[in-house]
Chains A and B, each alone.
Chain A
Amino acid sequence: MSVAGAILAPVDSVRSAILKVASPWVSPLFADRRRRVWWLGVVSVVSAFVVTGLVPLWSLALGPVLLGVPHLVSDVRYLVVRPKLHHKPWLLVLVGAPLLATSLGAGPEVGVLAIVPAVFGAGFSWRLVVVAFVWLALTAAAYLEPFGFQLAFVHAHNLLAVLLWWSLTARAKSMAWVPLLTVGGAVAILAGALDPLVTWSGGWSAPWTGTSFTEFVENITPALDPTLAGRLVLSFCFLQSVHYAVWLRLVPDDARPRPAPRTFAASWDALVADFGLAPLLVFVALSLGLAVWGAVTLPGARLGYLQLAAFHGYLELAIAARWFAFGRAST
């Protein structure tokens, strides 16, 4: 048994014992993949809404530090590794170069450039024409109004993950609850639905996080009415939580070859099969390092992570364009 297997075996034993006791109640919830993904999606969105109302600044500060790296790993795993795009070195280099440049500080017009090589190989069709127009429009917007573009993209890329998840497989109508609740939640937050809960919980201020609403308003909202700007920060917090839930829970559940849930040890083995052990250990070290860094200085760790993660929104955009141009997901 591997070291990871030995570490995860007790956790799996506890999980197995709990499932055995709770089997009569939870079996119907977990056995069927569609049903499981549906309720996990709904619970994730509702939880994100409640957490945003109770502890928004903690969610904004801790979310990227604790879940950031695992969600980036999932991003790369399901958008690049599983579709075996890394078997095409030319694609890896041409898409990877602009993505890497954005993480090193290049402008948004460089990030959207990743769309172009991502659709190489798609036959000429109306889909390719749409992608070309979208790319031109995004590039023009990024050149003419880079600040506004970045702000819009910071918020919109959270929804892009929901769109990618939706495109991953054929969906039953009932699954529409997940995107509907997501959009509905964001609209409700912008309309002020969470203001009383945040005030009740004292969530407008959390000095221990080393950050404040003022800081987020100054950094991730455009020139707006100050009340609407504060709500836009809440909306970002909510959508960021949904974004993490999509990559860490919903997409893995949908993309798993076996419909039933698997043990933690089996999940680790699957990760090793996808990435190899050495890269996986680097990911674990990155996650732990970021958590330790966060314990020392939470704002510093958050900024360090954001520097690293700047590429991933454009990766999602490029792969969304690829899926659309080819007319199917996981191409």
Chain B
Amino acid sequence: MRTLTLAVLLVAGVALADIPPSNSTQCHSAQTGAACTTDDGKPGTCLKQLVSRLDYSEGVPPKTKQVEMLLCVASVTARSTATSSPPFFAAGALMLVMLGLIVTKLVSRGRRSAAA
């Protein structure tokens, strides 16, 4: 779902109250110090920062708590080579290729049965 939302956010470029904290998405599965790109396209580094988030662990209405999370902080020295979720994208793409092969197989089956 995060991948979906990420894609949407990239297209939408809008800020709503319930989206993840700014500059957090690229650093979600990264280590401290990893290179990243900020939401406005600048090269940066993933650093621990205190942010305010809703906490639903005790039910609704949620409480607000301060949590430490990795955010992409703009830096002139950092390289902008980090990507958000390459393993997920690669896995998804691999599965799609397999589905493509299956569809091809189905079409050839369809042709055979139509011919018969």
Q: Do A and B come from one complex?
A: yes
Q: Hey, which bits of chain A sit against chain B, CB under 8 A?
A: 81, 84, 86-87, 89, 92, 96, 100, 103-105, 107-108, 145-147, 150-151, 154, 192, 195, 198-199, 204-205, 212-224, 226-227, 229-231, 275-276, 278-279, 282-283, 286, 293, 300, 302-304, 306-308, 310
Instruction: Give bound CA distance, A226 to B60, whole Å.
Output: 8
Instruction: Give bound CA distance, A216 to B62, whole Å.
Output: 13
Tell me if B12 is interfacial: C-beta within 8 Å of chain A. yes
Instruction: Give bound CA distance, A236 to B11, whole Å.
Output: 23
B28–chain A nearest beta-carbon distance, Å? 10
Tell me if B103 is interfacial: C-beta within 8 Å of chain A. yes
Instruction: Give bound CA distance, A176 to B12, whole Å.
Output: 38
B70–chain A nearest beta-carbon distance, Å? 15
Mask of B79-109 contacts with A, CB within 8 angstroms, 1/0:
0000001011101110110111111011101
Q: Given A84-B110, A219-B20, A282-B102, verify A214-B1 contact (CB < 8 Å).
A: no
B22–chain A nearest beta-carbon distance, Å? 12
Do residues B60 and A216 form an inter-chain contact, with CB atoms below 8 A? no
Q: Given A84-B110, A204-B56, verify A276-B1 contact (CB < 8 Å).
A: no
8 Å CB contact of B8 from A84, A147, A227: A147
Tell me if B77 is interfacial: C-beta within 8 Å of chain A. no
Do residues B5 and A86 form an inter-chain contact, with CB atoms below 8 A? no
Tell me if B16 is interfacial: C-beta within 8 Å of chain A. yes
8 Å CB contact of B110 from A87, A147, A221: A87
Tell me if B18 is interfacial: C-beta within 8 Å of chain A. yes
For A198, list chain B residues within 8 Å (CB).
59
Main secondary structure of the interface of A (DSSP, over half): helix
Q: Given A150-B8, A212-B57, A307-B91, verify A230-B16 contact (CB < 8 Å).
A: no
Do residues B98 and A146 form an inter-chain contact, with CB atoms below 8 A? no
Do residues A86 and B107 form an inter-chain contact, with CB atoms below 8 A? yes
Do residues B60 and A306 form an inter-chain contact, with CB atoms below 8 A? no
Given contacts A204-B60, A229-B18, list 14 more A-B pairs with CB under 8 A: A145-B12, A146-B12, A147-B16, A151-B8, A199-B59, A204-B56, A213-B56, A214-B54, A216-B1, A217-B18, A221-B18, A226-B61, A283-B102, A303-B88
Greatest chain A CB density within 10 A among B57, B60, B98 is at: B60
Do residues A195 and B60 form an inter-chain contact, with CB atoms below 8 A? yes
Do residues A104 and B96 form an inter-chain contact, with CB atoms below 8 A? yes
Instruction: Give bound CA distance, A81 to B99, whole Å.
Output: 14
Do residues A276 and B105 form an inter-chain contact, with CB atoms below 8 A? yes
Do residues B114 and A87 form an inter-chain contact, with CB atoms below 8 A? yes
Instruction: Give bound CA distance, A147 to B99, whole Å.
Output: 28
For A282, list chain B residues within 8 Å (CB).
98, 101-102
Tell me if B53 is interfacial: C-beta within 8 Å of chain A. yes
Residue of A nearest to B89 (CB): A307
Greatest chain A CB density within 10 A among B12, B18, B85, B101 is at: B18
B34–chain A nearest beta-carbon distance, Å? 17
Do residues A279 and B57 form an inter-chain contact, with CB atoms below 8 A? no
For A306, list chain B residues within 8 Å (CB).
1, 3-4
Instruction: Give bound CA distance, A241 to B106, whole Å.
Output: 29
Instruction: Give bound CA distance, A293 to B87, whole Å.
Output: 12
8 Å CB contact of B18 from A84, A222, A293: A222
A46–chain B nearest beta-carbon distance, Å? 23
Residue of A nearest to B8 (CB): A150
For B102, list chain A residues within 8 Å (CB).
275, 278-279, 282-283
Mask of B1-34 contacts with A, CB within 8 angstroms, 1/0:
1111101110110101111100000000000000
